[in-house]
Structure 1
């Protein structure tokens, strides 16, 4: 596409030329390694698919160089030094296949996690750090590394990079002077209280990073590219306490002046490019930005560093809007655009953009349910909207042996995904939706401006189903009589869920969250939201941004208590945004009834009346499965999917649908 031609111009990092300005951002490759530290077949297929999809530079996720000093259960992620011959053998297959698409690939080498190791991945191993500091999540004090251990890790970087070069990698990225990982802990004075050559001055705190690049260049040659993931600002208010966008605070981590000076030093040490983000695990809604963060949030920080160094700058951070990415290049903020989660959602993003098929790009929701949420809870990388991510080979769709006519009751996300997959396989799906448009609960859910990608996903399904010639009937309720008038070979019930409602006496001003989000009713200037789950909290933010007085009432002892597992970056940011936006929160509180003035509730063993114009119930959903229960004994091939099966989230609605439709 001529409009975005600049995004497809070649660029060099060190001695290596890259065909376009798109990099695949490094994301934790959990589930993509085998027991000996090599890449398993899932990993090979996953990275190769992104090269096939057009990205110019693939940057793998974390690969450990040390598995002794900072112990890990082998192997959550690849390790290039654990069994070098095996690593080279498995990685070589991957790099050769990636090079076939004229793409380049860098291996991200990690010095370790230190105090930020995710507890589910830590096991019983003691956490390490530059100094005896508090672990990010656990009530443990980290063990201080000795100088001999630091030297050993540096030496292992040389060995790990050499193994990467032998395996066909075009360069490496060092993980990282960013996000508060181990090397970054050395670089930040808040975490580094050492008094030896690795503590004190900025130069001393960066000595670890300096020795790493020097060791790799010595081992692999001066022309072997070494890049660095780098955060010029930490957004740390204190240990385990991060700052929000727009919040005034004293930076306790790395601030911009030191970030500029450190960048200059790092480049002088020999790093060939800097991959820019901001944040830390103490403020990890910056490092792993949820939908509550603006798109392109790292662009201003990339520009700051771009203006002071002479090496290419890579910029990630919700860069999926191609116009935004183009502007960042044209404004001189960066030299390359890095896509992480957008390439989980659609591995062919780059090819689709190049060929002008922007409407065909499946959007990332920044929900982090399938990526960081699953890494955090299950040590597995996936994607909520793309069930094939990290499972490319085993989920490859096969043509149906016989084309079958499948009626789908419900045009929410589950019904749409089922129809898409069935059509791709050669079946003839027919969707019947009771309302006037496709989308189901995504329509009210996507009403807040920070949920715009929910509506983008609906638009993607609408366009995709149209291109696949899927027959869609709107404003039509599926009944047994309607079904009996069709000669169908299968039936999928995807009738979704409906909001839970209960009586509070006078219910004239009691509304569901969906009614308010769809602007079917006016909640007035003062409202009480009953339910502090995800829907209630997001609704509260949306109304507060409209300058309404909002009180959030939750029967549990904390907000988001029954949601999960949410990625902590999402949940922690949401928990902080609620009071930051001036929303009053009452936990361990029970609603009793409405009154003439508002609502009566019980909290802290006393009864209190809160004046309000409306009461909004956000207390969950119940499955709408009456049609399934009526028909389940009448059809041999009937399936119930999504919320109609079990109320959950977008991810499981899509995954349910994909699983069922891919096997029919």
Structure 2
């Protein structure tokens, strides 16, 4: 163990259960890894086992419903302990047995329900809530208010679920959730709870539901069985379906810090053995699921206050996967235990690599949400943008090839680097060719803004991996068809990337026009008034970066809204970026196209053919990319084992490039 990380590897007790280190796997929904009767699938079991094998001290599972009658979900969406309890014990029992073999503890997360934040498409009946309030996703739908008897039934179901958890071999449970605005949280927040029975009223009345839950569980399974509470210290609710940004001054309409600390003292006295703390709500989902625009350790100022208010352990997540940050948080008393969420999706061996002092070998999370929650919105199983094997570890892992082959990779962007990495792990002789002086492709420019530094960390990780694998790297080497035929490799992977798409309009060749890439790389400087053509993710992120430099920025987008073309930008990322643009004073015009670039600025045209002029010192083109396929087409039909991947196949995002490369290279 490296001395720099000694606090992380000290044991800790939650109640009377000892955990071997202070590293927990944060609870994350196993979307798509659930059987039709609500049990953990084989994929889910292997997914958790991989994190235990990687050295994690405590695993907190996906949210698991305690019932499916009061708030019935459609089958197979989330685990449910009550639909088929005997099968649940069988599958979860296999999971706990195997996790325990690695001396890892595992807690089952239990939920009373989703309430107003349940998407109606997930439900078999109407949504429910503490009171008759609007559904979050479809505000025109009013949620049905739960009866007192139904709430009491949920309390009993929580106790029954705890008994099943004990039978299945879990070491403890975590109650989901007095956080993020789920059903239990809605009962505790005055904005959502207008009840007049014992579950409403003042703070103590609104806390009756979580108090009765822990008391029921302790009564059924004993006071020594630990019960954690997932707990938001501040909701960041500015208004219904509106969140507050970091640093923004606003009136908190949800739970503020003062009320949270008062609640925590009451809940500790009621019997909770620890708090798994964070911040946010669905109304400010970019706090509960922090994207790349949030700082690493964004909850630490809040958890430090919680630690001063309670005596039981405080666990903290919130982009804590940077080892130095995690260790410092423990050393400075901002938390008792560190929960890693997406960082354990990207790299299941996070703990083992930290212990070995090889933090440079940890594959970084880039905060994109594309492979995890973003896939959930698309109805696809949980995985990870930079780790395609996540969630399908056994069936999609990398195995050594039966015989080594000569593999030529053309292009050194993330697609080319991933293809080279995977092919080398397979045991092949790999040579990578890049026509520029450095590896990274478009990600080099994308990583320039301060909020994209994790992209830069990803590039450094790839360089380290390729060096460790002794991949032959040829920089400043443009590949011709003749060179490929001369080298005569067994397989050729073309990852030549893409180039910016330039609109064909008068004046586009003027000196004031630049691509977003050239602006980010400093090849051209932006003036004070900037017009950005294209309101996709690249255009919006460039706009934010320039606005933070004091530029007056306007985005022009042909569609009706920002970031709506191509691959969907995950909800929390998109909403936070839009609110940050608004906060920074960026303006945008939708349903509008560029007609001409003039000496004074730009001429625009809307869908009613109305023309307007807009002054601009600089026009930045961020209108997408076109694939570079010249080399591939020149080689088509001339050799076997020819593959086209990444942006050169179809311009997309980092996840698309990596997943293409992984799929192809693991089968060469």
Partner of 1:539: 542
Instruction: Measure the CA separation in 1 of the matches of 2:119 and 2:454.
Output: 28
Partner of 1:595: 598
1:76 aligns with 2:77: yes
Deviations 1:462-505 (A, max 9, x none): 00001001111111111111112203101111111111013443
TM superposition shift of 1:164: 0.9
TM superposition shift of 1:125: 2.5
Instruction: Measure the CA separation in 2 of the matches of 1:199 and 1:566.
Output: 38
Instruction: Measure the CA separation in 2 of the matches of 1:37 and 1:594.
Output: 58
SS in 1 for 2:269: helix
Partner of 2:518: 515
**Given that residues 525 and 549 in structure 1 are in contact (C-alpha distance below 8 angstroms), is that contact kept between their aligned partners in structure 2?**
yes
Deviations 1:427-446 (A, max 9, x none): 11211111111111111111
Partner of 1:640: 644
Deviations 1:18-64 (A, max 9, x none): 11111000001112221222211101100010011111000001011
TM superposition shift of 1:277: 0.5
Instruction: Measure the CA separation in 2 of the matches of 1:439 and 1:31.
Output: 32
1:263 aligns with 2:296: no
Deviations 1:365-422 (A, max 9, x none): 0000001111122152110000011100101222111100011111111111111111
Instruction: Measure the CA separation in 1 of the matches of 2:98 and 2:245.
Output: 42
Instruction: Measure the CA separation in 2 of the matches of 1:319 and 1:208.
Output: 31
**Given that residues 130 and 183 in structure 2 are in contact (C-alpha distance below 8 angstroms), is that contact kept between their aligned partners in structure 1?**
yes
**Given that residues 118 and 376 in structure 1 are in contact (C-alpha distance below 8 angstroms), is that contact kept between their aligned partners in structure 2?**
no
Partner of 2:630: 626
Give the aligned CA root-mean-square deviation in angstroms: 1.1
Instruction: Measure the CA separation in 2 of the matches of 1:327 and 1:288.
Output: 22
1:580 aligns with 2:600: no
**Given that residues 506 and 595 in structure 2 are in contact (C-alpha distance below 8 angstroms), is that contact kept between their aligned partners in structure 1?**
no
**Given that residues 528 and 552 in structure 1 are in contact (C-alpha distance below 8 angstroms), is that contact kept between their aligned partners in structure 2?**
yes
**Given that residues 120 and 376 in structure 1 are in contact (C-alpha distance below 8 angstroms), is that contact kept between their aligned partners in structure 2?**
no
The normalised TM-score by structure 2 is 0.98
Q: Which moved more, 1:378-387 or 1:615-624?
A: 378-387
TM superposition shift of 1:120: 4.5
Partner of 2:413: 412
Matches within 5 A, 1:34-49: 34-49=35-50
Instruction: Measure the CA separation in 2 of the matches of 1:236 and 1:99.
Output: 40
SS in 1 for 2:568: coil
- Ranges in structure 2 where 5+ consecutive residues have no aligned partner: none
1:567 aligns with 2:570: yes
Instruction: Measure the CA separation in 2 of the matches of 1:495 and 1:369.
Output: 23
TM superposition shift of 1:119: 4.5
| Change in 2 beyond 3 A, CA 1:445/1:15 | same
Matches within 5 A, 1:236-275: 236-275=237-276
TM superposition shift of 1:523: 1.4
SS in 1 for 2:46: helix
TM superposition shift of 1:605: 5.0
Partner of 1:552: 555
Partner of 1:91: 92
| Change in 2 beyond 3 A, CA 1:382/1:121 | farther
TM superposition shift of 1:532: 0.6
| Change in 2 beyond 3 A, CA 1:379/1:628 | closer
Matches within 5 A, 1:95-244: 95-122=96-123, 124-138=124-138, 139-244=140-245
**Given that residues 235 and 253 in structure 1 are in contact (C-alpha distance below 8 angstroms), is that contact kept between their aligned partners in structure 2?**
yes
Partner of 1:25: 26
Instruction: Measure the CA separation in 1 of the matches of 2:126 and 2:479.
Output: 58
Matches within 5 A, 1:431-442: 431-442=432-443
**Given that residues 108 and 175 in structure 1 are in contact (C-alpha distance below 8 angstroms), is that contact kept between their aligned partners in structure 2?**
yes
Equivalent in 631, 651, 658 of residue 654 of structure 1 = 658
**Given that residues 120 and 377 in structure 1 are in contact (C-alpha distance below 8 angstroms), is that contact kept between their aligned partners in structure 2?**
no
SS in 1 for 2:33: coil
Partner of 1:335: 336
Partner of 1:502: 503
| Change in 2 beyond 3 A, CA 1:379/1:629 | closer
1:383 aligns with 2:384: yes
**Given that residues 381 and 391 in structure 2 are in contact (C-alpha distance below 8 angstroms), is that contact kept between their aligned partners in structure 1?**
no
Partner of 1:607: 611
Q: Which moved more, 1:279-288 or 1:32-41?
A: 32-41
Instruction: Measure the CA separation in 2 of the matches of 1:441 and 1:379.
Output: 27
**Given that residues 120 and 127 in structure 2 are in contact (C-alpha distance below 8 angstroms), is that contact kept between their aligned partners in structure 1?**
no
SS in 1 for 2:107: strand
**Given that residues 515 and 521 in structure 1 are in contact (C-alpha distance below 8 angstroms), is that contact kept between their aligned partners in structure 2?**
yes
SS in 2 for 1:264: helix
Instruction: Measure the CA separation in 1 of the matches of 2:662 and 2:378.
Output: 22
The normalised TM-score by structure 1 is 0.98
Instruction: Measure the CA separation in 2 of the matches of 1:237 and 1:653.
Output: 37
| Change in 2 beyond 3 A, CA 1:120/1:422 | farther
SS in 2 for 1:402: coil
